[in-house]
Amino acid sequence: MADEQLSAASIWTEKYRPLEWDQIVGQKPVVERLRAFVAAGRLPHLLFAGPPGCGKSTAALVLAHKLFGQHWRANFLETNASDERGIATIRVKIKDFARTRAVAGPFKLIFLDEADALTAEAQAALRRIMETYASSCRFCLSVNYSNRIIPAIQSRCATLRFRALTTNDIAARLTSIAQHEGLDITEAGLNAICEQAEGDMRKAINILQAAASVSKSVTDSAVYAVAAAARPEEIRNMLEAALAGKLHEARKLLLELLLGRGMSGEDIIRSINREAWTLDVSDKVRARILSLTGEYGWRVDAGGEPSIQISALLAQLALLE
């Protein structure tokens, strides 16, 4: 039996491949702080705040590898708070893991992904557990919106803010993936993916995979097709028609996007907001367009019928002088 356990341990050690800091791209200030924590052998509770797809979960995994080495699985618990957001999860699953002794280390690490989805009651229970088991366990909370975490938890954490990935960061990774997968990706296709991803690496890779399933040559046409997105010039033509008073033409273009292409109202609103900055208009008119976009975007988000609300937005643009 002892020989079997030794053999299993040897296999586990052989399979272990540590993650490295350079796998966290575009977050140099965050990496420097995490390196300092590991070097000092001390770690506070952490709050990772930033947009989706920028490397927060990867940073937590790399941190666990650096702190615990081959024993990282025994000392690391990852849970998605959007799936397990109730107080029962905190009082049972999280508490049971936090109260046990770490394996070959001074403390354990619990990673709560999407912690801003936790209910207020669950956050209150979590605050108490963080306080009670601070000597044996550290918490790392990952959020998109840090203001949704109660102040009592925020004050107990060192906040590390992640930024959205740059176009260069995303393009470099997509180019590497394309080379390894034998894909031919055009410059226009690469730019289209980066535009649609908006700093989210996960979204960028998903779009690339979807486009590659259609053809080995990834072009901008393939990207816009699989992403169900409008080309920038299509949105710009619609806005220019509305500003010129050609309301019927503008609405025809809108219905083609909504009904013919199946785009969502939210996506069209976001595209209008993005293209408003490229229009050849005065700053006063641009400011009015952006203001109207925010107002009608809120209406669509609140449940308004997209075709009616965006048509009303175009009508407001046609009235601008």
Q: Are residues 28 and 130 in the same domain?
A: yes
Residues forming a β-bridge with 282: none
Residue 296 to residue 65: CA distance in whole angstroms: 46
**Cβ neighbours of residue 156 closer than 8 Å, sequence gap 6 or more:** 45, 127, 130, 131
Let me know: does 122 contact 87? Beta carbons within 8 Å: yes
Q: Are residues 140 and 25 in the same domain?
A: yes
Q: Are residues 147 and 276 in the same domain?
A: no
Choose the final residue of a domain: 121, 140, 161. Answer: 161
Residue 163 banded pLDDT, cuts 50, 70, 90: very high
Residue 104 banded pLDDT, cuts 50, 70, 90: confident
Q: Which residue has the higher pLDDT, 105 or 302?
A: 302
**What's this model's pTM, rounded to 2 decimal places?**
0.78
Q: pLDDT at position 160, please?
A: 94
User: What are the phi and psi torsion angles at 152 (to 5°)?
Assistant: -65, -35
Residue 69 to residue 133: CA distance in whole angstroms: 22
User: What six digits make up the tokens of 262?
Assistant: 């199946």
Residue 4 banded pLDDT, cuts 50, 70, 90: very low
Q: Are residues 71 and 130 in the same domain?
A: yes
Q: Are residues 183 and 87 in the same domain?
A: no
Q: pLDDT at position 88, please?
A: 65
Q: pLDDT at position 15, please?
A: 63
Q: pLDDT at position 27, please?
A: 92
Let me know: does 140 contact 112? Beta carbons within 8 Å: yes
Choose the final residue of a domain: 138, 161, 184. Answer: 161
CATH number at residue 95: 3.40.50.300
Q: Which of 37, 108, 46, 39 is nearest to 71 (CA)?
A: 108
Q: Are residues 124 and 50 in the same domain?
A: yes
CATH number at residue 275: 1.20.272.10
Q: Are residues 156 and 201 in the same domain?
A: no
Residue 248 banded pLDDT, cuts 50, 70, 90: very high
50-83 pLDDT per residue, tens: 999 899 999 999 999 999 888 898 899 888 866 6
Averaged pLDDT for residues 299-304? 92
Domain with 295 in it: 232-318
Q: Are residues 199 and 127 in the same domain?
A: no
Sheet strand arrangement including 76-80: 76-80, 108-113, 137-143, 45-49, 157-161
Location of structure tokens 């004050």? 155
CATH number at residue 193: 1.10.8.60
Is pLDDT at 278 greater than 50 in this prediction? yes
The single-letter DSSP state of residue 24 is S
Q: Are residues 69 and 173 in the same domain?
A: no
Is pLDDT at 8 greater than 50 in this prediction? no
Q: Are residues 130 and 182 in the same domain?
A: no
Q: Are residues 50 and 171 in the same domain?
A: no
Q: pLDDT at position 125, please?
A: 86
Choose the final residue of a domain: 226, 244, 274. Answer: 226
Residue 321 to residue 308: CA distance in whole angstroms: 23
User: What six digits make up the tokens of 233?
Assistant: 């010039």
Strands (E), 50-136: 76-80, 108-113
Q: pLDDT at position 19, please?
A: 85
Q: pLDDT at position 29, please?
A: 93
Residue 10 to residue 194: CA distance in whole angstroms: 43
Q: Are residues 205 and 70 in the same domain?
A: no
Q: Show the CA angle centred on residue 117, arms to residues 115 and 118, nearest 5°.
A: 75
| Rounded alpha-carbon distances, angstroms, from residue 117 to 80, 142, 202 | 9, 10, 20
155-164 burial, b for 16+ CB within 10 Å, e for fewer?
Answer: ebbeebebeb
Least confident of 15-29, 160-174, 283-297: 15-29
Least confident of 35-49, 92-106, 111-125, 279-293: 92-106
**Cβ neighbours of residue 228 closer than 8 Å, sequence gap 6 or more:** 261, 262, 263, 267
As a whole number, the mean pLDDT across the chain is: 87
Let me know: does 107 contact 43? Beta carbons within 8 Å: yes
Q: pLDDT at position 83, please?
A: 62
Q: Show the CA angle centred on residue 85, arms to residues 82 and 86, nearest 5°.
A: 165
What domain count does the chain have?
3
188-238 pLDDT per residue, tens: 999 999 988 888 899 999 999 998 888 878 888 888 888 878 888 899 999
Residue 78 to residue 144: CA distance in whole angstroms: 17
Q: Show the CA angle centred on residue 163, arms to residues 157 and 166, nearest 5°.
A: 160
The single-letter DSSP state of residue 278 is G
